[in-house]
């Protein structure tokens, strides 16, 4: 069965999915040309630092529904054979969804997910950055109110459409599941250089900064260990 894409985004009280809460969730179904956006009462105070980013205040959400209601509405919006797409999905939005549904004692359907950040890092390794706003500028998409959920969703829809061209969602999922063997440095000041051309001192700096400990850079770590750069 062909999967229908639904682009989505969340705004939250912070970055810890185990303790922070969703304050806004938005989605766009391009095939039906329907959008979904709801403020969510997180049942906790929104830190000023979070409000400074997404501009959502305690006053704005005090009359909003809790996630138990919004989660049911979102689930209804995503009916059918769909795939959910978010930027940094696997490390952020999906984790928040899973925790919110668990806390609300609601069942989260077994949706397939696509992380557009992972796609960008994997298939546009020539780029110096992979943030949504950088990709927006790269593809010449009109600026929006960054860090409000529906605005980011609409930008993501346009960005990802450029990035995958005419690939189906099934093709995208298949390609993301395939392992790509690195042959050149994928980022940083030595991007595009073969591994042997990267100075040992730079590799050791990457290690000390924690960059090589990130899950997406494990293959890099293995390459440089084999070269003896980290001994």
The residues annotated with a catalytic role in the active site are 147
CB-based contacts of 13: which residues, under 8 Å, 6+ apart?
20, 21, 23, 42, 44, 45, 46, 47, 50
Of 93, 92, 97, nearest to 71 by C-alpha is 97
Number of Cα atoms under 13 Å in the Cβ half of residue 226:
8
- Number of Cβ within 10 Å of residue 197's Cβ equals 10
Asked if residues 106 and 68 have their Cβ atoms less than 8 Å apart, the reply is: yes
């Amino acid at each position: 069965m062909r999967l229908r894409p639904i682009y989505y985004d969340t705004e939250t009280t912070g970055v810890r999915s185990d303790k922070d809460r969703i304050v806004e969730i938005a989605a766009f179904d391009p095939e039906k040309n329907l959008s979904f956006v709801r403020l969510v009462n997180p049942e906790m105070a929104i830190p000023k630092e979070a409000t400074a980013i997404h501009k959502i205040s305690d006053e704005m959400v005090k009359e909003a529904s809790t996630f138990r209601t919004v989660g049911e509405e979102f689930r209804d919006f995503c009916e059918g054979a769909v795939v959910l797409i978010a930027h940094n999905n696997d490390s952020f939005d999906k984790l928040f969804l899973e925790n919110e549904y668990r806390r609300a004692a609601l069942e989260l359907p077994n949706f397939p997910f696509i992380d557009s950040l992972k796609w960008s890092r994997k298939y546009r390794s020539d780029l110096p950055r992979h943030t949504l706003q950088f990709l927006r500028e790269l593809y010449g998409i009109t600026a929006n109110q960054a860090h409000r959920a529906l605005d980011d969703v609409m930008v993501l829809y346009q960005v990802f459409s450029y990035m995958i061209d005419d690939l189906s969602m099934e093709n995208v999922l298949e390609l993301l599941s395939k392992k790509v063997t690195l042959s050149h440095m994928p980022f940083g000041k030595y991007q595009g250089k073969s591994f042997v051309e990267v100075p040992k001192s730079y590799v050791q700096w990457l290690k000390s900064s924690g960059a090589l400990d990130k899950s997406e850079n494990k293959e890099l770590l293995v390459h440089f260990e084999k070269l003896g750069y980290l001994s």
